[in-house]
Every structure is written in C-alpha cells, then in structure tokens.
Structure 1
Amino acid sequence: MFSFPFCIFLAICSLYCQQQVHAAKILAIAMPPHSHVAESNAVAVELMKRGHQVKFYLPDDLDTSKCAPDIPSIRYGQNTMYHAIKILDKIMELASEGRNSRFRFMQAARKAVCTQLVNDTTGLSKLRQENFDFAIVDYLYFIKCYLLIPYNLSIPFAGISSVIMPLDDGQPISTSVSPSVMTLYTPNMAYHERVINTVTHIMTNIATYYFLEAYDYSKIAPGLSWRELQELSKKAEIYLENSDVVLGYPKLLMQNLIQVGGLTVKPPKPLPKNIQKFFDEAKHGVIIVSFGSTFKFNDNLKNIFMSVFQKLKQKIFWKADEEKEIGNVLMTKWLPQNDALAHPNTKLIIYHCGNNGMFESLYHGVPLICVPQEVDQFTNSRKLEYLKIGRFFDIADLTEELLQECILDVLGDPKYTSNIKHLSEIYQSRPETAAERAASAIEHVIKYGGKHLRLDQVDLSTFQLLAVDVWFTIFVLLIVFMKIIIFIFVFCKRFVQSKIKIKQN
C-alpha cells in the first residue's frame, strides 16, 4: 500500500501535469507607451503564475526594463520608437501650448504606431512559428492595426483598453447618462447636453471610420477591406476595460466586458534611500509632479510651475528631464510613482490624468490636480472633479494664479482627501485584484470561447444601437397616422358641409 504522504505527492503531481496540459500559449500585443505595456504586463504576470506561457510582440527599440522586465518578447520594426517619437514630439509640443486637437493627435498616434507594425513581415513570420493559442491585444477605437496580428495568425483574442467604444464590443449605448469620450459631460446632463452627446457619439464613430487617414496594411492582411478592418474589433472574445465604477460613472455592461481598472496598482516597495529621506523630512508634506513620458514642458510652462512651487511650504518631487534640486523642488528623471504615492507625507499629485496614475492615486488615497493632454485624459479629469477628489484645468488656461489657487484649494479643503480615501476603501475591498479578474476572464474564454457572453446583435450599427431606426419608424408612422386623422377629419367636415348645403337648398 502507498503511504499517505506519497498519495499526496501523486495528487500534487497530477494537478501540476493537468495544469501544464491545459496551459495556453498566449501572445500579448501592446502599444509602445510604457503605460500600455505595463497594463498588459500585469495581466501577463498573473497568467504566467497560473502556468500559461506569455510572450510580448513589441517594437524593436522599446526599453521594457521597467514596464515588463520578466516577460520574453518578439520584436518588430526597425528603429520603431525613434520614428514614433519624432512624429509624436511635434504633436505633444502643440499640446503643451494648448493648440492640439484630438483628431490631429489620433491621426499622428495611429501613423506612429501602425506604420512599422503593418510592414514587418519578418516579425510576423516569427509569430507564426510560435503557434500561439490566444492573443491579448491592446486596442484603441482609432488604432486598430494591432487587431491585424491575431487576424493573420487566425487565433482568438481579447481586447484590452482604457477606452472601449460600444460600437466595437456591442455594449448598449445610453446617451442620456453615458457621456461620450469626446465630451466633458457627466451623467447629470441637461437637455441640450444630451442632444450634443448623442450627436457626438454618432459623429465620433463616423469620423474614426471614414475621416481619419487610412494606411496600407496589405502586406499582413491582403484582401481585407478598410471597413472589414474596423469590424475586427467586434470579433474579440472578451474585452478588458481598464476602468472601474468607483473611479468613473455607472453604466450598463454586457458580460463580454470586464472592468479591470487599476492593473498597475500594487502594494508599495521601499523607496530608494535618498528619496525616502526627502519624503521623511517634509514637515508640511510632499507634492508629486508627473506628466508621463510624452508631455513636453516648454520654458514658459516650466517657469510658471517653478514660480508657484517656490511659494509653497510643501516639498515638490518633480519627474522631469533633468536632475537638480532648487530650494524645495527636487527634479529627477526617474519617479517610482506607485511607491511615492504610498508615503504618508504625500499630500497631492499634479498629473496629466493617465489611467494608471489615476488608479494608483485612488489606491493610495491621494487627491489630484490634472492637466490633460490627450484622448481619455480629458474625460478622466472631468471624472475626478465630478467625484470631488481633485481639480483640473486646460493647459491653455494656465497662469500662476490659477495653478496656485488649485493647489491651495485641494490642500486646504479636507473634502478632497476624505472623498478619495473613502473611494480607496471601496476599491480595496474587492476579493480579487484587477489582474486576477482579467486572468480569470481570459482563462474562461480560452476554455469555453466568448460567444455565450455576447449579444447576437454585436454587429448592429451606431444608429441601430441608439434605436435611431426604431424612433425614425415611429416618427414616420406618427406622421402617417396624423395625416390619416387629418384626412378623415377633412373628409368628414366636407361631407357634413355638403349635407348642410343640400338641406339648405
């Protein structure tokens, strides 16, 4: 007979082997910005913990040492990041002056990230040799070229994004309470705002389909039409939305969309000794300043910020493109943002309102001042003001007086800190982390597929999702009905008048 410990050993081995048999080989395709790679990396790490194999498909010259250090990768392009940065630098220079338009940014961003991807058939050949089972695809409603990779490989995929358009994933559109990403409305919309919001929903879809400049992707998807490329987003088995009802607006959700806001959030690690000392010695607290890796500070902006900061009693920890210390301001090229936010002396973060930093601030209960630059940063900024966890302003309106007034208001009014700490408690009360929810959802659709999670009506157009065709039919029927009533009334009136005339004669 086998001993009890030996039986336990056999059971463990059996479970391990079973896990290996069912382990999937997963391809993660992320956009080049570090924040995007970090989101996908969080899901990849969790999947690898569960026994799956994961590889990234990334630009050849993207440094992943900080955003995805432990996941192997296959590279594409030639000096991809160099070309992309040249294109985006010009756009971000305009953004820093408040002269950038969202459609201009969309067009430039798409050109920057898609050109190298769709022309590299060598990288695609390497992917084919790997025989992947599934893909996790970084997706934006105006950048869909990454969907061409699972299409070419003929494998199912999940989409991951901070902004997912209802037309792409078949979610119901309720324009009376769900603001468009292109507006700064909240769910509390007046009549004229609901009208504008509905029109904006329609026009955004039309514009991204037809008015953004197309590009040649025939090398990796010969024969696929432009419209068919736009429709690929509807083929996703599931969508992972880097959002959360705690840090946003309630909305209707179908089962094929899982909210996984806060993928990069994690318990803090110890700060480096010099930074720890800086924070520990801040008697009046520390203000963190970070505008990500793409925003460009011109001299005028830098002077405004520096002038205001030197009037404050708090210390300023500023992620910049130089290393120096001026009075109460420490400028550094590297910022362990999640860890710094966790320090008890951190009182405020001044930020561009990217999604990851918003959730890190939420997790650690630190109020924000936001200066949005692109895409979802504008709607994120409006959300924080709606939730009363911070302030925001347009970069074009920036003055010393405005910046100082916002800082003093957020630091001086306890409602901002109280509100975000309350939301932080709700967020942290969840039984699963965002990465665990994402990994569980992916495992589910790998095993069972995602058809049972989606409506059959996923292919409905914007007009159909908004029931424009239904209301138009009702309107036409009402017109016809009214005309029939008027016709009957006129007929009866004439008939009665003719009878009266006959009697009178």
Structure 2
Amino acid sequence: MSSFSVWLFLAIYSSVYWSQQVYAAKILAVTLPMYSHVAESNAVAVELMKRGHQVTFYFPDYFDSNKCAPNMRTIRYGHDTMSTAQSQIERITKLASGGKTSNLNLLQGTRKAFCTQLVNDTKALEKLRHEQFDFAIIDYLFFLKCYLLVPYNLSIPFAGISTSISQLDAGQPIATSVTPFFMTSYTPNMAFHERVINTIIHVTSHIVFDLIIESYDYSKIAPGLSWKNLQELSKQAEIYLENSDIVLSYPKPSMPNLIQVGGLTVKPPKPLPKNIQKFFDEAEHGVIIVSFGSTFKFNENLKNIFMSVFQKLNQRIFWKADEEKEIGNVLITKWLPQNDALAHPNTKLIIYHCGNNGMFESLYHGVPLICVPQAADQFMNSRKLDYLKIGRFFYHDDLSPVKLQECIHDVLGDPKYTANIKHLSEIYRSRPETGAERAASAIEHVIKYGGKHLNLNQVDLSTFQLLAVDVWFTIFLLLIVFIKILICIFVFCKRFVQSKTKVKQN
C-alpha cells in the first residue's frame, strides 16, 4: 500500500471517529429499581453504548444493579431513606404475592416508596446537574410520574419507555371500542357492556388515579410546578418506546412518536451450563420450565399444589425458586438462564406469571405458555394467550391440582398451541432490526432532530378531546335541541289543527 493510500485511510478513519465523538451523547436512564424494568432500559443502553454514547443509570442506594448488568455506570440517590423505602417495598410485594392487597393499594404503596426517596435527595440531583446530560430515558409508568421530574429539573429532553404506554398520557388517538384499557383483561372482541365499561375507564382513569393514589411533596425537585402541570409532563416526551409488538399486542392507532420496540431482552441463546445442559438433553419426554419472576413469591400452599402435580408428569421440571434441591423429576434452582433454556429443543412448555419480557422470550423461541398472573399488566398478557391460542391461563383463586393438570395436558397434548406460537415466532424474527436497535435509532433521531415533527400536534389535545367526548357531547346536545324543536313544531301544528277544527264546528 502506498504512503498516500495509508494517509488517506487514516484521514477517513479519523474523520469518522471524531464525527462519532462530536455527536456522542451523554444519556441518563431513570428506571424503576426492579429487574424486569432495568433489563428493558439496559438493553437499549447497551445498544446506545455500542454506537459511542455514554449511558448512566440513576438508582436508589439499596438496589443491586450488578444482578442486571455488571459494571453499569450509576449515580445513587435515596441515602437517607434507603432502609425505610426498601422495607416498605418488601412489605408491599409480600402482600401482593399472597393476594392480600388490591392493585390500587399496590400502586399507592409503590408510588410512595419510590417517589419519596427520589424527590427528597437534592444532593444526588446536584451530581446529575454537574454531569450535564444531553438526554434522558425515563421509565414511564402512569402512577410514577415523579420520574419525569428528573429531566424537568435538569431541563433536558427525554424519551418514555414502558411495557405499555398510556395512550392518553402520550397524546395518542384511541379507539375505545377495540383498544382495551391496559389494566383490564379485555380483548378487542368486547361485548357491548365491556365497550361501555372500557370507554368509561379510559375517560375517568387519569382523574381517578391522580386523585386517589397518594401524592408526595415534589417541591424540592420541581419548585413552582403545579399539580396540573405535573400530570402533563408525560406529553413532553420526544418519543415513547413501548416494549410491545403487533405480533403479541392488540392493534391500536398511534402517532409516529410511539414506537413499538417489543422484545428488548430477547437475544440469541448462549450455551447452558454443563449440569443444566445434561438435565435437558436427557429429558426423554421434554422439560417444563417454571418461573414466577424475582419480585413476587408463592406461599407454601401454592408450592405444594404445583409439586403434587409435577411429580405425576413424565416431563422433567426446571423450577426457579428460593432453594436448591432435586426431587424426582423436579430440579429446583435459584438461578435460571431463562432465555437460553427456552431455546433448548427439549423445552416443551413454560409455566409463568406472564411478565412482558418472558412472554417475548417464549415467543422468540416458539414455546407455549401457561400463565398465573399476579399483578399489573400480567392479567392482560394472560388473556392474550387465549386470544392468540398460544397457551392457557388461570388465576390464583382457581388454582387446584385438577385445574393445573388439565391445563398442562391440554397445552402439551394439543398441537395447535405450539404450532401457533412457532408461526408467530417466525413473523417476529423476520424483522430486519431488533427492538433495542429500533429504540436506539429512534433516540439518536430525536437527539439530533427533536421530536416535534413526530407529534402532529396531537399532544396539545386534552384527554376529553382525544376521546372526542366534547364532540359527542355537543352532538348529543344538538340532537336533544333538534328533537325538542320537532316536538314543539308537532305540538304547535296539533294545536293549530285543533283550533281550525273548532272554528269550523262553530
């Protein structure tokens, strides 16, 4: 190679390298300190870091981020409230696991625990300001809008990320006749009374949730911000990244600023550890994976029901729990490489709580599911199994050895479940980009160009305008006025005819 060619190559390489450095952004990620939520944001962060950006996570002191992603760059908050918040969260999740609290109480307690420590740590906020971030990725939850106060305080643009974006919060159009509210168990095939209830919930949810869920003092982090303006902060996001996909989600109208990036945690499998690989390889009748996440725990009664059924099956059971032991065909372990285990050809079924990430991993590897939902969006996710014919579900209250055994035999014995999910898996895997790549590309786009051109001014409409409540109310009033005018004309004409008749008779 000539010296000129060498210098030309170095010049091109240098220009590309420095151009990447110039446009590299400092990005802050604020996420709910729970494994499933952090895993979503971390998948996007990893992709952004591959592209030369720097990503920093903002976590409470007690949260062990090494369980999610080792060597993650973090800034910590909540030093003075760490033990109180942690004990409160443990108490809430224990009650929820035993079915001893409602979803509303769960939301109230979670909001108080997470928001109080976030908004009161002004020293940690000073650290954030000193970093001079360019952009933020905020875990968007309709009942945890306090996270939106961080980019507001730093005066930086942000993207909202969540498993389910509230369309009204995000200023999206909505068709209540076919779009179920995300905390219901409805499907698009709603009966008349369900459509009525669904519409009422959509209209009233924002008002009700903001009024009855316990508030917090956010004056330290956002002095001068009114309560009403706090509710509108979500509409200021440049884009919304929803960890959903049309393959698994119900169709719905949306604006270009809402981007589906479903399957953020899905990835090609890695080799299993030798002992687990052997357990799967030697399973003559296949393996059933059992996992109910890292937050909610089953009580002893429910565990005994599952164990009594599992020991009667021909399949081997690989069960993630809080202990390490092997009983007959059941291997219980504290650690489960779920994505890698689902990829094994002998995996026949997963029994799961229907968390969003696990559903996408099952979809990716074409494994049918049986779900026992516990909280939040898991109830809607469970109904999707019936809607798509890719599995079965039942609730805690319906759990019995007979019910569990019947569901397992049905899913394993009827080939439609496996055939349907493998077909959907093929569609899902045909995409040219992964969910994380789509998310990173969208973030880079709005960092460079902003997101106003994606909104189409829909974010300026109120909840009632988005739902056309004002339009239908006006039409209803006009209809009443029109009917009243017709009645008046009819009465007038009747009286006129009667008077004429009387005159003639006289």
Q: TM-score, normalised by structure 2?
A: 0.97
What does 1:398-417 correspond to in 2, within 5 Å?
A: 398-417=399-418
What does 1:149-298 correspond to in 2, within 5 Å?
A: 149-298=150-299
What does 1:106-505 correspond to in 2, within 5 Å?
A: 106-505=107-506
Kindly state the Cα deviation for residue 91 of structure 1 after the two structures are TM-superposed: 3.2
Q: Deviations over 1:390-448 (max 9, x none)?
A: 11111121111111111111111111111111111000000001000000100111011
Contact 2:119 / 2:220 at 8 angstroms: preserved in 1?
yes
Kindly state the Cα deviation for residue 70 of structure 1 after the two structures are TM-superposed: 4.1
Q: Distance in 2 between matches of 1:71 and 1:350?
A: 31
Contact 1:290 / 1:319 at 8 angstroms: preserved in 2?
yes
Contact 2:25 / 2:135 at 8 angstroms: preserved in 1?
yes
Residue 296 of structure 1 aligns to which amino acid in structure 2? K
Residue 261 of structure 2 aligns to which amino acid in structure 1? V
Q: Distance in 2 between matches of 1:219 and 1:479?
A: 50
How many percent identity over aligned positions? 75
SS at match of 1:167: coil
CA RMSD of aligned residues (A): 1.5
SS at match of 1:163: coil
Q: Deviations over 1:64-111 (max 9, x none)?
A: 223122431111113866544432333333333334311111111112
Q: Distance in 2 between matches of 1:170 and 1:87?
A: 33
2:11 aligned with 1:10: yes
Contact 1:370 / 1:392 at 8 angstroms: preserved in 2?
yes
Contact 1:167 / 1:462 at 8 angstroms: preserved in 2?
yes
Q: Distance in 2 between matches of 1:320 and 1:82?
A: 25
SS at match of 2:20: helix
Residue 439 of structure 2 aligns to which amino acid in structure 1? A
Count of residues paired in the alignment = 505
SS at match of 1:287: strand
Gaps of 5+ in 1: none
Kindly state the Cα deviation for residue 215 of structure 1 after the two structures are TM-superposed: 1.0
Q: TM-score, normalised by structure 1?
A: 0.97
Kindly state the Cα deviation for residue 335 of structure 1 after the two structures are TM-superposed: 0.8
Q: Distance in 1 between matches of 2:39 and 2:83?
A: 20
Residue 488 of structure 1 aligns to which amino acid in structure 2? I
Contact 2:244 / 2:263 at 8 angstroms: preserved in 1?
yes
SS at match of 2:241: strand
2:26 aligned with 1:25: yes
2:49 aligned with 1:64: no
Contact 2:44 / 2:440 at 8 angstroms: preserved in 1?
yes
SS at match of 1:307: helix
Contact 2:85 / 2:117 at 8 angstroms: preserved in 1?
no
Contact 1:45 / 1:71 at 8 angstroms: preserved in 2?
no
Contact 1:97 / 1:395 at 8 angstroms: preserved in 2?
no
Q: Deviations over 1:296-340 (max 9, x none)?
A: 221111111111111111111111011111111111111111111
Contact 2:235 / 2:459 at 8 angstroms: preserved in 1?
yes
Kindly state the Cα deviation for residue 175 of structure 1 after the two structures are TM-superposed: 0.6
1:86 equivalent in structure 2: 87
Residue 208 of structure 1 aligns to which amino acid in structure 2? F
